[in-house]
Amino acid sequence: MADGNPPPMRSFAQAASTEEIVVPSRVVQIDGLVALKIIKHCKECMPALVTGQLLGLDIGSILEVTNCFPFPSRGGEEEDEVEADGANYQLEMMRCLREVNVDNNTVGWYQSTYMGSFQTVELIETFLNYQENIKRCVCIIYDPLRSGQGVLALKALKLSDAFMELYRTQVFTGEKLREKNMTWKDIFEEIPVKISNSALVSALMTELESDAPATQCDFDRLVLSTNPFMEKNLEFLIECMDDLSMEQQKFQYYYRNLSRQQVQQQAWLQKRRAENAARRLSGEEPLPEEDPNNPIFKPLLEPSRLDSYLITNQIANYCGQVNGFAGQSLSKMYLMDAFHAD
């Protein structure tokens, strides 16, 4: 059954003005090369925290990362110089890489972290900075310390869309957040990571694989000493708790002030009404029931909940790490027990 006419062609202007639907990226595909480079860079500069840029292609629901380069670390120079230097470095690097046919497209950045403590306001701001230019950008977090335990601690994060919109309004009161139904879990979204290699590289690696039955990674994993890692984790957890309790105190202070203000308002209102009643009796004009100039009517600013959200996120992260680590150490200890029984 054919229509009489073909569907009407859209004019170019119409086509240009329809919004592109941005498909959220569902998987991040990293090249083995990128993973190795990130590991190398972060390990070399430990314990300093470093960052770098990710280059790649954005196709469909897969975000491919094919190359990366590290940023030079700032050495305590003046802010302006460092800014200009950094931008210059980036431009030069991208120009040079383009000459050797590397994908010239920025898709995000990576940073190293210390024991998983990466949730800061700066991270959010950097995300927003990137998001303005690139539709889908991702941040890869690498934890060199945890990788010393034998786990590859590489994750890809993205700010959730709902949170980004909220951030733009810069309002983080309880009401707003309840409206959007946002919990502290919703700030960052983790995207699953895939690793891909070119055929040449995989052929080379297959040839070069060492014949030893165990690798250094295995030795790292089987280390029995659990205390240092746990201690550090707990230390950070406790610090975060302190921060959280400070935030709570801020809120309590605010609520106390709010209720005090309301009591004052009620009292004032009572007085006014009494006055008005008296005036009516005496036949004068009643005074208005509101007085915007009175300081007790000034609305109090509710403190932003963003920090407490970030802190709770951080705490949850630490707890997760402790969980994973405890699982491993328990298995190792039971293994030792079995050995000893023999």
Under the binding rule (CB under 8 A), the answer on residue 222 touching another protein is: yes
Q: Judged by CB under 8 A, which of 23, 87, 214, 267 binds another protein? A: 214
Q: Judged by CB under 8 A, which of 57, 204, 296, 300 binds another protein? A: 204
* Min dist. Cβ of residue 278 to another protein (A): 30
Using CB under 8 A, which residues numbered 81 to 120 contact another protein?
Answer: 89, 92-93, 96, 99-102
Under the binding rule (CB under 8 A), the answer on residue 162 touching another protein is: no
Under the binding rule (CB under 8 A), the answer on residue 327 touching another protein is: yes
- Pick 168 or 340: Cβ nearer another protein: 340
Under the binding rule (CB under 8 A), the answer on residue 195 touching another protein is: yes
- Pick 37 or 272: Cβ nearer another protein: 37
Under the binding rule (CB under 8 A), the answer on residue 47 touching another protein is: no
Cβ neighbours of residue 109 closer than 8 Å, sequence gap 6 or more:
51, 52, 53, 54, 126, 130, 137, 139, 140
Cβ neighbours of residue 305 closer than 8 Å, sequence gap 6 or more:
172, 173, 174, 177
Segment lying near another protein (by CB under 8 A), choices 12-20, 124-132, 199-207, 266-274: 199-207
Using CB under 8 A, which residues numbered 261 to 320 contact another protein?
Answer: 312, 315-316, 318-319
Under the binding rule (CB under 8 A), the answer on residue 168 touching another protein is: no
- Pick 120 or 259: Cβ nearer another protein: 259
* Min dist. Cβ of residue 159 to another protein (A): 19
Q: For residue 156, list its beta bridge partners.
A: 140, 191
Cβ neighbours of residue 167 closer than 8 Å, sequence gap 6 or more:
124, 128, 159, 306
Under the binding rule (CB under 8 A), the answer on residue 31 touching another protein is: yes
Q: Judged by CB under 8 A, which of 61, 245, 270, 323 binds another protein? A: 323
Q: Judged by CB under 8 A, which of 10, 60, 81, 192 binds another protein? A: 192
Using CB under 8 A, which residues numbered 233 to 252 contact another protein?
Answer: 234, 237, 241
In contact, 106 and 55? CB cutoff 8 Å = yes
d(CA 296, CA 291): 9
Q: Judged by CB under 8 A, which of 16, 22, 199, 281 binds another protein? A: 199
Q: Judged by CB under 8 A, which of 163, 184, 188, 236 binds another protein? A: 184
- Pick 70 or 108: Cβ nearer another protein: 70
Binding residue count for another protein, defined by CB under 8 A? 90
- Pick 171 or 230: Cβ nearer another protein: 230
Under the binding rule (CB under 8 A), the answer on residue 196 touching another protein is: yes
- Pick 10 or 26: Cβ nearer another protein: 26
